[in-house]
Amino acid sequence: MGQASPQSVGKVAVVYGGNSAEREVSLKSGAAVLEALQRKGVDAYGYDPRDNGLVGLAQLAPSTVFVALHGRGGEDGTLQGALELLDIPYTGSGVLASALGMDKQRTKQVWSAVGLPTPESVMLAASADWSAVVAQLGLPLIVKPVHEGSTLGISIVKSQAALEAAYHEASQFDARVMAERFVVGEEYTVALLGDQVLPAIRVEVPGGFYDYEAKYIANTTQYHLPCGLPSEQEAALAVLCQQAFMAIGGEGWGRVDVMRDSEGRFWLLEVNTVPGMTDHSLVPQAAAHAGIAFDDLVLQILNTASEPFTA
Residue of 48, 72, 270, 281 marked catalytic: 270
Strand, helix or coil for residue 59: helix
Q: Catalytic: 272?
A: yes
CA dihedral 26, 28, 34, 40 (to 10 degrees): -130
Residue of 18, 22, 77, 149 marked catalytic: 22
Residue of 93, 188, 216, 252 marked catalytic: 216
Q: Catalytic: 276?
A: yes
Q: Catalytic: 176?
A: no
Q: Catalytic: 255?
A: yes
* Strand-pair partners of 64: 12
Residue 118's Cβ-side half-sphere holds a number of Cα atoms within 13 Å equal to: 26
Q: Cβ(192)–Cβ(242) under 8 Å? A: yes
Q: Cβ(150)–Cβ(25) under 8 Å? A: yes
Q: Where are the alpha helices (DSSP H) in 14-92?
A: 23-39, 49-60, 78-86
What burial class does residue 231 get, using C-beta atoms within 10 Å of its C-beta: 0-12 exposed, 13-18 middle, 19+ buried?
A: exposed
Cis peptide before 62 (omega within 30 of 0): no
Residue of 20, 121, 272, 281 marked catalytic: 272
Residue 263's Cβ-side half-sphere holds a number of Cα atoms within 13 Å equal to: 3
Q: Catalytic: 22?
A: yes
Residue of 211, 255, 260, 281 marked catalytic: 255
Q: Catalytic: 257?
A: yes
Residue of 29, 93, 121, 150 marked catalytic: 150
Q: How far apart are CA 176 and CA 194, in angstroms?
A: 32
Nearby residues of 201 by Cβ (< 8 Å), 6 or more positions away: 188, 189, 190, 223, 224, 225, 227, 282, 285, 286
Residue of 76, 98, 257, 281 marked catalytic: 257
Which sequence positions are flagged as catalytic? 22, 150, 216, 255, 257, 270, 272, 276
